[in-house]
Amino acid sequence: INDTYGHPIGDAVISGIAEAIQAALRPADRLYRLGGDEFATVLCNVDTQQAIRLAELCLAHAQTYPFRAHGVTEPVSLSIGIACSAESISLYDLQKQADLAMYTAKRPGARKIICYIPEMDALATLVSNRTVSAVFQAITNPTLIELHYQPVMHLPTQVTGYVEALARIRLETGQLLTPDAIFPIVNARGLDAEFDLTILKALDQQLRLPDFPDQLGVSFNLSAQGIVS
């Protein structure tokens, strides 16, 4: 939205989202902006089903909010993660659980409201600050993308017809981030088209190198969002 309409409109959309969510919450519930387009609220004295109903109300208010008044024609939607605990738990851990549920809700094809379950803890390493930061840095700096080329051979001659470019990100520690760590973040953050473009920029830079094999065909993968845009 910022790229298409400018930051003032982006700010107006953020304000509109806050207004819509606050209108859906109970009078005593406080809404907190964590940063960017992420908000949180702490619901006291509710069970899981009541929390889900409040989340559904937040979705309904956001869907009917007049964002078109700002000239925004795209649908504005929410992805909501819920963490509930009847036992004593730190606010930090509760927020972490809700965060994992929200990342799950942001995945393509997922429901817009997801409740935390312990199986989601496996996502924690994939959405760690270091990994998220590395993905964002790579998107703004294609030189951080490391392309690996997998030969695609004609059988039975085993002659390489072309190569497939596969994206990796090299951390400062030397660790290599592979697709199973990269793409859950890309998908959850809605960065599919941006990451596709970054890979293309990195590929373009490598194709210009004098030692890149001449006349070698290269294929690459595009996301559905990348194709549409």
- What is the set of active-site residues? 37
- How far, in Å, CA of 149 to CA of 220, rounded? 10
Q: Exposure string (b/e) for 24-42, b if CB count within 10 Å is 16 or more? A: bbeeeeebeeeeeeebebe
Torsion of CA 23, 24, 30, 33, to 10 degrees: -80
Q: What contacts 74, CB < 8 A, 6 or more positions away?
A: 1
Task: Find, among 97, 124, 99, 109, the residue nearest to 181 by Cα.
Answer: 124
Contact predicate 66/39, CB 8 Å: no
Strand, helix or coil for residue 1? coil
Task: Find, among 185, 189, 204, the residue nearest to 37 by Cα.
Answer: 189
**Radius of gyration of the chain from Cα atoms?**
21
Strand, helix or coil for residue 175? coil
